[in-house]
Amino acid sequence: MTIELIGLENIPIVNKGDDISQMIKDAILKQECSIKHGDIILIAETLISKVEGNFIKIDEINPSKEAIEIALKSKKNPKLVEAIFGESNEIVEVGPDFIISETHHGFVCANAGIDESNADEGLATPMPKDSDKSAREIRRYLEEEFGEEIAVIITDTQGRAFRNGAVGVAIGCSGIKALWKRVGEKDLYGRKLETTEIATGDELAAAASLVMGQADEGLPVVIIRGFDSFDKLRDVDSSITSLIRPKEFDVFRK
């Protein structure tokens, strides 16, 4: 199997109200890479939040007493800490340079997924309100325009427990299962798999992140082509919630 990663050039700086689906279509046509059956379009979440007008005006926030106290412990801007409160169901842990929280979506990550990079001065972008919905709308538009079955995944960059560094993860999807349950299949020695589940959405997001980059690469949309399990995992009703571990099974939270 050969997988191709295609970074879409000609995606401009976006603003609230821009039609991101049309922008992606135009970029595909200009780059002459077309769309093929089974293509997976991966889009950085910051792009989605911007066009949906999902901004936080950090400078206008009045931090609470609790935010100021946690800011001292985490060495973060108290205004940012208050913003993290606003995007969280629960503060899970506070460290010398991090705040781990559970977002309203159910993701457990640093800073509630609020991103201060690649945004105008004084602004930050929280996670999109409903990344599954955004992915579904973009997928339907591109499928209609190009006449091919595809998938769309909204990506973020997050750290991981017990490992340094950040990787791309999926926070929204449409057209493909984000979790591949392989229980019952056989390994090379004929033994049945009993617990194996693959976070396909995260693996695809991590691959795309190599092309997207984290600085000034300017490639927030990546096409993955040649993933030969696309048809097996095709699901127009997919949701990112399949990747979220239920709290009762989260043995690392007190």
Choosing from 89, 124, 159, the residue where a domain stops is 124
Known binding-site residues equal 11-14, 45-46, 50, 115, 118, 156-157, 212-219
| Residue-averaged pLDDT of the chain | 92
Same domain (yes/no): 86, 158: no
Instruction: Check residue 91 and give its pLDDT.
Output: 93
Known binding-site residues for GTP equal 11-14, 45-46, 50, 118, 212-219
Instruction: Check residue 63 and give its pLDDT.
Output: 94
pLDDT at residue 243 tops 90: yes
Known binding-site residues for a divalent metal cation equal 115, 156-157, 214
Q: How confident is the model at residue 174 (pLDDT cuts 50, 70, 90)?
A: very high
Same domain (yes/no): 147, 186: yes
Same domain (yes/no): 86, 184: no
Q: Give all strands (DSSP E) within 118-196, no chain letters.
A: 123-124, 151-160, 163-176, 180-181
Sign of torsion over alpha carbons 82, 84, 86, 89: negative
Whole-model pTM: value is 0.93
Which residue is listed with tokens 């996670």?
Answer: 127
**Structure confidence by residue, pLDDT tens digits, 177-217:** 999 999 988 888 989 998 899 999 999 999 999 999 765 66
Cβ(225)–Cβ(232) below 8 Å: no
Choosing from 71, 106, 124, the residue where a domain stops is 124
Q: How confident is the model at residue 119 (pLDDT cuts 50, 70, 90)?
A: confident
Mark out the alpha helices in the chain (DSSP H runs): 20-31, 45-51, 65-74, 78-86, 131-146, 200-212, 230-233
Structural domain count of the chain = 2
Domain, as residue range, for 61: 56-124
Is 254 within the bounds of a domain?
no
CATH of the domain at 244: 3.30.1330.100
Same domain (yes/no): 107, 145: no
Instruction: Check residue 227 and give its pLDDT.
Output: 97
Same domain (yes/no): 205, 175: yes
